[in-house]
Structure 1
């Protein structure tokens, strides 16, 4: 997937671009709204990430121009504007999603994956394992209809594991997916978050197992409740 990132904050754009590239996506970065007026309508991008507070041309103007010229790629807005009216204005102008700064990279990646699924006509916007259900659009985890409060990184790790139920998710993939531009996410950090989720899910009929030397997998607990999760690694 080829992504156009339009963000005037050099440090932020560099961190976001690196995170996207770790996912295997090709990223072109622009820092100016005037440049983005032409780049976004060429039909060469699968998705646009657009900051609203751009120099020379406001991001909202760029978005309206793209849509007026027939650009159909999904567009995710990044902005420090947290007013409801700003969000509504952006969505009405043709945005497909909206993320308020500051944000965590795992949430941005999850939203991009959701936009990609929708653009490909995949309408299933949730993951399910037993009674555990993850709403990928509203970023909400529930069990038997009851909401489970998780941090953004806990939610991101849960999504990675629920995407491959019963299959191993490599530890290095988790590290890459949960790193941010502020600091790299270490393997020790992954173990800490896995331990937290195990405690949260212990009574919900779901276990996270360690596969030594490889990574982790999530699956339903056996009926007898004897789940060896091997928390030593």
Structure 2
């Protein structure tokens, strides 16, 4: 998130981290320009009025570097010309301040869903349905309760079924860049999710030295964890 208004930025960060997202908050366009070249992000929330480099110029710069991360612009400017301009230079959506944080979350989900090519917010894998918008999981016909961080971890895995998700990426997404985290924390969350998924055909397997993969149980395949 690139936003220089302290109270708004703090409110958004608190809300998103409470929902299980890892959020990096930057307040200067010049710093953000450098930071966005260093690591991949799933979404950029971008204010237009920024010190250093303004949001419009930063967006142009990001797209000129072929960084295709979806961008949700937030701004106090609400006229149609401004909206058309930011969409034309590469924004994926536009939200006018002030806004309800629930709408921000909904717009974020929609932008990421469109970017990933998902037609709906529901992911079905075997007999498990993960509804990202509703933050719910139906496992073998029964709704199971997960903490926000457990849900976020499962979401990250089922968004890439059958593909190994690197451990480092999961750590970054769950715990952020600035927090000191016990190295066993990820394994603890994986263990909790496995227990809840035990009655289903969905398995979270460990690929040693690399990460984890969500896949449908195959009786003929070797057990990797």
Cα distance in 2, alignment partners of residues 75 and 185 from structure 1: 34
Measure the CA separation in 2 of the matches of 1:78 and 1:69: 13
Q: Which structure has the highest strand share of the two? A: 1
C-alpha distance in structure 2 between counterparts of 1:25 and 1:206, whole Å:
25
Q: TM-score w.r.t. structure 1 length?
A: 0.60
For each residue in 1:15-64, what CA deviation from the matched residue of structure 2 results, as whole angstroms up to 9, or x when unmatched?
Answer: 3349986434796976x9687xx7459973752354xxxxxxxx6xx152
**Cα–Cα, structure 1 residues 121 and 161, in superposed 2: closer, same or farther, change >3 Å?**
closer
User: Which of 5, 25, 31 is residue 8 of structure 1 equivalent to?
Assistant: 5
Do 1:133 and 1:143's aligned partners in 2 also have CA atoms closer than 8 Å?
Answer: yes
Match status 1:218 vs 2:224: no
Equivalent of residue 132 in structure 2, options 114, 131, 136:
136
Give 2:16's aligned residue: none
Query: In the alignment, which of 141, 160, 164 is matched to residue 164 of structure 1?
Result: 160
Shift of 1:123: 2.2
Give secondary structure in 1 for the equivalent of 2:184.
helix
Give RMSD over aligned pairs: 4.3
User: Take 1:67 and 1:143, find their aligned partners in 2: how far apart are those partners?
Assistant: 47
> Which residue number corresponds to residue 47 of structure 1?
71
Unmatched segments (≥5 aa) in structure 1: 51-58, 80-85, 92-96, 100-107
**What secondary structure does 1:5 align onto?**
coil
Which residue of 172, 179, 183 maps to 2:175? 179
SS at match of 2:163: coil
**Are the counterparts in 2 of residues 127 and 162 from structure 1 also a CA contact under 8 Å?**
yes
Count of equivalent residues: 190
Could you tell me how far 1:77 is from its partner in structure 2?
Answer: 7.9
Shift of 1:122: 4.7
| 2:202/2:216 contact within 8 Å kept | yes
Question: For 2:176 and 2:58, how far apart are their aligned partners in 1?
Answer: 30
- 1:23 corresponds to: 40
Residue 212 of structure 1, CA deviation: 1.2
